[in-house]
Amino acid sequence: MIQHGYELDFSKQTFGVILYGAPGIGKTTLALSDGNNGGDTLLIDLEHGIGRTNPVHRMNANVLSASTYEEVLNDLNTPEAFAAKTIVIDTAGSLVDYLKDWAMRTKSDAKTKTGAFNGLKGFGYVKSELESFVNRIKTVMNKNVIFIFHCDEKADKDGNPIQRLRCEGSFRNTVWTGIDFGAYIQMLGNKRYACFTPEDEFFAKGCHGIEGHVEIPNLKNDVPNDFLAKLFDTARKNMQAENDGVAEQMQIYRGAVEAAKDMVEGVTDADTANACMKALLSLNHALTSKKEASKMLNDKCKTLGLAFSKAEGAYVAGDAK
């Protein structure tokens, strides 16, 4: 099905999220907060940490426990996994450890002669399997995916604390590309916050109006654990509003760029270049179309040996200087 940009409906949009922070800050409980119906969330509990959450706040989740990566894959083929809206990977660092174990058992060159993990070859296998695993959850299964990371406090060159994701290999970098939100969870005073805007101490990512410090409610047994459900709803509404606002601009942008290409194609000398310059200015522009159209014309003029003379305000043959 092909839809125009202005027809898009984001009411069922899924998201990728990174949650990271100190031990005990409540990352797992927060990750379970998208869904009030039984089975809405599937927690892939690679660190066997589900027992540390409040039973009231984990009752609606299904928990996948596995001792090998193959078991995780098998369990992702179950009806429970397909029924879930959200899949939580707790933790992404442990998933990399499971994949290292998988690579050592199944790929002969992922192990050194002494039986240790061969980082050079092994991380290649880990990376490609991890890409396919994440793509399957996000794209094929179309789930929200939440990556929980522990964090390590390090010091910058001036000794100030900086928070880094605890995860071996390149995934701690590449994971940021495919996600929508990345929050550092921290206590400020006696309140907990999910921080979506980067600061000197930590990196973060926000979009669709989700930014800055968002307070996480203090959960009591009668308070629903629905932080992410509400956040996703807000983001979906904002996306719809952004799309409705931008759709018209994008249409104008595309029209202007296409028209500019045709006009620039017809430029053959200084006279046609100057006529084209005027015509480009008269187009209905949006976003960066005016700048892009002007660059197209300038590039074409260069190929024709024309240069823009500031003094004449026009393209002239040869070196304008």
Structure tokens at 43: 């927690």
**Segment contacting another protein (CB under 8 A): 24-32, 142-150, 201-209, 274-282?**
201-209
Q: Which residues contact 174 (CB under 8 A, 6 or more apart)?
A: none
What is the nearest approach in angstroms of another protein to the Cβ of residue 198?
Answer: 5
What is the nearest approach in angstroms of another protein to the Cβ of residue 35?
Answer: 28
**Segment contacting another protein (CB under 8 A): 9-17, 48-56, 73-81, 164-172?**
164-172
* Per CB under 8 A, 103 contacts another protein: no
Rounded CA-CA distance 185/280 in Å is 49
**Segment contacting another protein (CB under 8 A): 6-14, 39-47, 263-271, 287-295?**
287-295
Residue 165 contacts residue 5 (beta carbons within 8 Å): no
* Per CB under 8 A, 21 contacts another protein: no
**Segment contacting another protein (CB under 8 A): 79-87, 142-150, 282-290, 300-308?**
282-290
Q: What is the dihedral of CA 106, 110, 112, 117, to 10 degrees?
A: -100
Q: 3-state DSSP call for residue 261?
A: helix
C-beta closer to another protein: residue 64 or 204: 204
* Per CB under 8 A, 226 contacts another protein: no
C-beta closer to another protein: residue 50 or 252: 252
Q: What are phi and psi of 154, to 5 degrees?
A: -120, 180
What is the nearest approach in angstroms of another protein to the Cβ of residue 13?
Answer: 18
* Per CB under 8 A, 292 contacts another protein: yes
C-beta closer to another protein: residue 202 or 229: 202
* Per CB under 8 A, 173 contacts another protein: yes
Closest-CA residue to 104 (of 94, 113, 95, 117): 117
According to DSSP, residue 139 is labeled I
Residues of this chain, 114-153, that bind another protein according to CB under 8 A:
119, 123, 127
* Per CB under 8 A, 170 contacts another protein: yes
C-beta closer to another protein: residue 57 or 208: 208
Rounded CA-CA distance 98/172 in Å is 16
User: Which of 101, 251, 290, 320 touches another protein by CB under 8 A?
Assistant: 290
By residue count, the chain amounts to 321
Q: 3-state DSSP call for residue 38?
A: coil
29 to each of 55, 61, 139, 176, 268, how far by Cα in Å? 10, 10, 25, 22, 66
Q: Which helix (H) or strand (E) holds 247?
A: helix 227-265
What DSSP line would sit under 168-237, residue for residue?
Answer: SSTHHHHTTTT-SEEEEEEEETTEEEEE-S--SS---B--TT--SEEEEP---TTS---HHHHHHHHHHH
* Per CB under 8 A, 295 contacts another protein: yes
**Interface characters, 244-273, with another protein (x: CB under 8 A):** -----xx--x--------------------
Closest-CA residue to 236 (of 181, 174, 178): 181
* Per CB under 8 A, 165 contacts another protein: yes
C-beta closer to another protein: residue 73 or 246: 246
* Per CB under 8 A, 174 contacts another protein: yes
* Per CB under 8 A, 47 contacts another protein: no
Interface with another protein (CB under 8 A): 119, 123, 127, 157, 164-165, 168-170, 172-174, 176-177, 197-198, 202-203, 205-206, 211, 249-250, 253, 287-288, 290-292, 295-296
